[in-house]
Amino acid sequence: MPFEKAARLTALPPYLFKEIDRLKAEVAAKGVDVINLGVGDPDQPTPSFIIKALQEAAEKPEHHQYPSYSGMGSFRKSAAAWCKKRFGLTLDPATEIVTLIGSKEGIAHFPLAFLNQGDMALIPTPAYPVYHSGTLFAGGRSHFMPLVKENGFLPDLNAIPADVAREAKIMFLNYPNNPTGATADAAFFEKVVAFAKQYNIIVAHDAAYSEMGFDGYRPISFLESKGAKDIGIEFHSLSKSFNMTGWRLGFAIGNAEILDGLGQVKANIDSGAFNAVQEAGIAALESDQSSITAMQKLYEERRDVLTEGLREAGLDVEPLKATFYVWCHTPKGMKSAEFTSLLLEKAGIVTTPGNGFGAPGEGYVRFALTVDKPRLQEAVARIKKLGI
Ligand SMILES: *Cc1c(COP(=O)(O)O)cnc(C)c1O
């Protein structure tokens, strides 16, 4: 039957990993031993103390009923304590924290709370696709802020036309950044706060990679900036920090009124995260954080293998201080898609073309550090054989 999809679906850009998956399957079918550095999903298991906490909590009948919409009080309390310890933030667990079913859920639903039909959101590009799709689903329009090397992959606030800024209701940001690996400092966040206050814009900062910093670098929270809590919401995730992508747990923090809007949307869409998963989240947040230190060390080592290897192969790589992505320039004269295809077809390596995250990503490919060191060494050896 002719069921026509809604315009909001047909307006979406093509799903980035679909075509890559198809090509990967094609190459694998030929018997090639494919190395997957495509999707950003940690390969390591969730630490066992977190699994144990889930197992125990799952036994408790009181957790089998509907959770609270905004999250268990005890989870929000431990998230507040974690934010205090980690960033020095003082947050009221009752009004300034909402539990999320993964941060993607919160990010995707957030525009529904503050955008009316035709309203503008400021979206970085290249970027995680959910800021734009969430905006589209809410009937909003995206004004894209290009992230380019010359500006440290930070948006140039001065380049946003004043009439666009006046119209905008939300600005999405994400540091440490996927896909570029870039980081933001306090001085940049202070400029963002001033800009947001000047134009009455909500800043929605995605901090999914806050714990993935290397060489002693500890990413900061947007909410550490003076005045940020007047205009800001920040999305946190346990996915990358604790290898918990499959568990679906995150939380939003920030301005109480802004969080109330998100909470109201969520109360009408979902019924909260499974309490037993939140209990496991408490175990993660209240732990000594040694699993995070171990995770950082693991990716540092992998980063060194891949970065050095790619450079030896003649490629130009951005230095990586945070996230588990290596943002690599394509060989001279080669487009992102061409290089991704070459890597897949001639070396059996899956990567993501930079332009798939947005036009200014053209000329880059993203490598995810999601395989162990020997496999990365194998990947490097294969790339060297290409003779770039
Ligand atoms: C992985 C990732 C997330 C995390 O999503 P969850 O829903 O918490 O698993 C959020 N933002 C970005 C930019 C990511 O790369």
Residues 263 and 376 in one domain: no
202 and 311 fall within a common domain: no
Residues 165 and 279 in one domain: yes
Domain-embedded: residue 2: no
Distance 2 CA to ligand 1 centre (A): 35
Shared domain for 37 and 58, answered yes or no, is: no
Q: Is the Cβ atom of 250 under 6 angstroms away from ligand 1?
A: yes
What's the gap in Å between 107 CA and the centre of ligand 1? 9
Q: What is the pTM of this model?
A: 0.97
Q: Do 30 and 67 share a domain, yes or no?
A: no
Q: Whose CA is nearest to atom 11 of ligand 1?
A: 208
Residue where one domain finishes, among candidates 240, 270, 285: 285
The per-residue pLDDT for 84 is 98
Name the domain boundary from 256, 285, 314: 285
- For ligand 1, say whether the CB of 281 is within 6 Å of any of its atoms: no
Residues facing residue 213 across a β-bridge:
322
| 184 and 254 share one domain | yes
Verify that 27 and 60 share a domain, yes or no: no
Ligand 1 contact via 174 beta carbon (within 6 Å): yes
For the packed helices 256-267 and 103-114, what is the interaxial angle rounded to 10 degrees? Answer: 100
pLDDT on residue 105:
98
- Mutate-to-test residue for ligand 1 from 41, 101, 222, 237, highest number of ligand atoms within 8 A of CB: 237
Residue 329, in any domain of the structure: yes
Closest atom of ligand 1 to 249 CA is 8
On whether residue 66 sits in a domain, the answer given is yes
Is 319 in the same domain as 336? Answer: yes
Q: 329 with 364: CB under 8 angstroms?
A: yes
pLDDT value, residue 301: 97
Beta carbon of 352 within 6 Å of any ligand 1 atom: no
- Identify whether residues 272 and 361 lie together within a single domain: no
Q: Across-strand partners of 156?
A: none
- For residue 208, the CA-to-ligand 1 centroid distance in Å is 5
Domain boundary among 267, 285, 303: 285
Are 183 and 142 within one domain? Answer: yes
pLDDT, one tens digit per residue, over 315-331 is: 999 889 999 999 999 99
Query: Can you name the residues that pair with 38 across neighbouring β-strands?
Result: none
Claim to verify: residue 86 and residue 35 sit in the same structural domain: no
269, part of any domain:
yes
In a domain, 267, yes or no: yes
Q: Peptide bond before 14: cis, by omega within 30 degrees of 0?
A: no
The CATH number of residue 370's host domain is 3.90.1150.10
> For the chain, what is the radius of gyration of the CA atoms?
21
Closest residue (by CA) to atom 15 of ligand 1? 178
- Is the beta carbon of 303 within 6 A of some atom in ligand 1? no
178 lines ligand 1 (CB under 6 A): yes
Per this entry, what is the length of the chain?
388
98 in any annotated domain: yes
Out of 180, 206, 244, give the residue to mutate to test ligand 1, the one with the largest number of ligand atoms within 8 Å of its CB. 206
118: Cβ–Cβ under 8 A, 6 or more apart, which residues? Answer: 139, 140, 141
Structure token digits, residue 386: 């290409």
Query: Which strands, in side-by-side order, build the sheet including 325-329?
Result: 325-329, 364-368, 352-353
- Examine the domain organization and report whether 57 and 15 are in the same domain: no
Q: What is the pLDDT of residue 16?
A: 72
**CA distance linking residue 131 with residue 136, whole number of Å:** 9
CATH of the domain at 203: 3.40.640.10
**For residue 341, is it within any domain?**
yes
Instruction: Encode pLDDT of 48-105 as tens digits.
Output: 999 999 999 999 999 999 999 999 999 999 999 999 999 999 999 999 999 999 999 9
Flag whether 1 is in a domain. Answer: no
Quick one: how many helices (H) and strands (E) in the chain?
14, 12
For the chain, residues with pLDDT lower than 70 are none
Range of 362's domain?
7-45+290-385
Q: Does the Cβ of 40 fall within 6 Å of ligand 1?
A: yes
211 lines ligand 1 (CB under 6 A): no
Which pLDDT does position 344 carry in this prediction? 95
The minimum-distance atom of ligand 1 relative to the CA of 239 is 9
CB 129 near ligand 1, within 6 Å: no
How many distinct structural domains can be found in the chain? Answer: 2
Q: How far is CA 324 from CA 36, 176, 258, 369, in A?
A: 14, 10, 30, 5
